[in-house]
Structure 1
Amino acid sequence: MYRITPELLKEVAGASVNKKVVDGLVKYLPEALEKYKINTKLRIAHFLAQIAHESDHFRTTEEYASGAAYEGRKDLGNVRKGDGRRYKGRGVLQITGRANYHTYGKKLGYDLENNPELAATPEVSVLTAAQYWQDRGLNELADADNGKQITRKVNGGYNGLNDRLSKVQRAKRALDKAEQVKDLPPKPKQETPIQDLPSRPVEPVEPLPIIAQGLPFEPEENNG
């Protein structure tokens, strides 16, 4: 396993970074990379390149825009007034829309639908990205060094392809110089326990077939 350091992430970004975002990634990435088997040079390089691009060079875990543009977007599950802003893009892969928040929260054991801001926290931000990576079979594409197809599955198209591929090369070079370690660092303590977060009730909404901005998603089947 490669040691994830601020220096490594800065080299991947190739630009100025947000120290708070980088520190959060350094804290929570190691365990997530191990859990989701993003554990080879190629897999880590492609993963870091994609989250670096989507987070504006590790500068933000929340979309800069207000989210108002998503208001009324039923394809995102935004069927109630205020859903556009409430479920704006958050996380290093920018999950967007009520349906994505509902489904990812259910997968990861967090009430993201009632606490959408939680999706922008370092731990959950990393977990949603790694879960998506696994769900879409992106380790296999990384093994084939297929950055173009990874970009299509992350972005829904090829926006920013050149920057993403450039970051893959930067990540490879950075990993060549990175220290490899056998053991993970101690598991970090969760900064804000979910039970301490204020819960704002919302009526459940059936997840809809959607393609979220920057994050195409296939909702789970409803067997009930």
Structure 2
Amino acid sequence: MKAQSTMRSKKPMKTITAKVQTQLKKKPVKDSQLQPHEILAVAPGKTYGVEKIEPGENGYSKVTLAANSGTFYVVNQDWDGLSGGKTLITKAQAQAIFANSIYDEELKDLNACLEKYQISTPARMRHFISQLAHESGGLKWLKELADGWDYEGRSDLGNVCSGDGPKYKGSGALQLTGRSNYQDFCNEIGDPRIMGGCDYVAKNYPFTSAGFWWKNNNMNQLCDRGATVAEVTRRVNGGYNGLEDREYYYQQACKFIQ
């Protein structure tokens, strides 16, 4: 009788693929803080086999490449195939608060945003998501409804080229607006396609673009001090426009974010 083989079939190798021009880094820090030998440029579409993926901090994952090719840090949102960092809010929670459907890619960006900008305590998350819910009409609007020509020639927004007004009109849940703000966001994320304008940001970074504003305006610190919805609204809006609606979404967020 022929002996049965005890050899197991090999588990398919996990792979990750770069979605944009990005890097493999030896440390989870900005490019400017690394030496040339600590960073490897990666072209869009490049695929690597990986032995291990571990969650990191500030939007990074730690990956051990196959074939003893080394261990590196990668920016979560730049890659397909990562386990994806932390899930700080589930699809069910998000849809219950927004009272609307959220696409998988939008949810992925929302979680990447929450992790990257450390919007990770209940107080921070409740205020952030409730403000976004109001500003986006419960996710109905991730692009400004107006055509953007009112921004044409606005040097205070950096709109110095013909067509900058509509190209860089409000996008994302908090309406990133103007060439200068797009450029700052592009520099932060490291994705040059952001400068393609409103449609690209609204599709790919609807929440991360909002988190960028949130960080720059020290909103986490405000939430940590026990701010009211009115106080958060004043900083987001410059006044109290839509306060009742924002209060409603905040109460919804309190129900589903414990």
Pick the structure with more strand per residue: 2
Could you list the runs of 4 or more consecutive aligned residues of structure 1 that deviate by over 4 angstroms after TM superposition?
none
- Tell me, what secondary structure is at the counterpart of 1:121? helix
Structure-1 separation of matches of 2:178 and 2:170 = 7
Q: Which one of 92, 116, 128 corresponds to residue 35 of structure 1?
A: 116
Partner of 2:44: none
Larger Rg: 2
- What are the superposed Cα offsets for residues 49-95 of structure 1, whole Å, 9 maximum, x if unpaired? 11111212112321122112222222222222211111110011110
Instruction: Give yes or no for contact 1:102–1:112 (8 Å, CA) kept in 2.
Output: no
TM-score normalised to structure 2 length: 0.60
Give matches, 1:90-109, under 5 Å: 90-109=171-190
Q: After TM superposition, give the deviation of residue 108 of structure 1 in Å.
A: 1.7
Structure 1 stretches lacking a partner, 5+ long: 177-224
Partner of 2:125: 44
- What are the superposed Cα offsets for residues 17-49 of structure 1, whole Å, 9 maximum, x if unpaired? 2x3x44333222223212322111111111101
User: How many residues are paired up?
Assistant: 171
Which has the bigger relative contact order, CA under 8 A and spacing at least 6? 1
Partner of 1:197: none
Q: Which amino acid aligns with 1:10?
A: Q
RMSD (Å) for aligned C-alpha atoms = 2.1
Pick the structure with more helix per residue: 1
Instruction: Give yes or no for contact 2:88–2:114 (8 Å, CA) kept in 1.
Output: no
Partner of 1:165: 247
Query: Does the C-alpha gap of structure 1 residues 160 and 112 become closer, same or farther in structure 2, counting only changes over 3 Å?
Result: farther
Q: Which one of 67, 71, 80 corresponds to residue 161 of structure 2?
A: 80
Structure-2 separation of matches of 1:82 and 1:61 = 20
2:93 counterpart of 1:8: yes
Q: Which one of 209, 223, 227 corresponds to residue 145 of structure 1?
A: 227
Q: After TM superposition, give the deviation of residue 3 of structure 1 in Å.
A: 4.7
Q: Which amino acid aligns with 1:148?
A: A
Structure-1 separation of matches of 2:239 and 2:93 = 27
Percent identity between the two aligned chains: 39
Q: After TM superposition, give the deviation of residue 101 of structure 1 in Å.
A: 0.8
Instruction: Give yes or no for contact 1:22–1:58 (8 Å, CA) kept in 2.
Output: no
- Tell me, what secondary structure is at the counterpart of 2:245? helix
Structure-2 separation of matches of 1:113 and 1:28 = 15
Partner of 1:60: 141
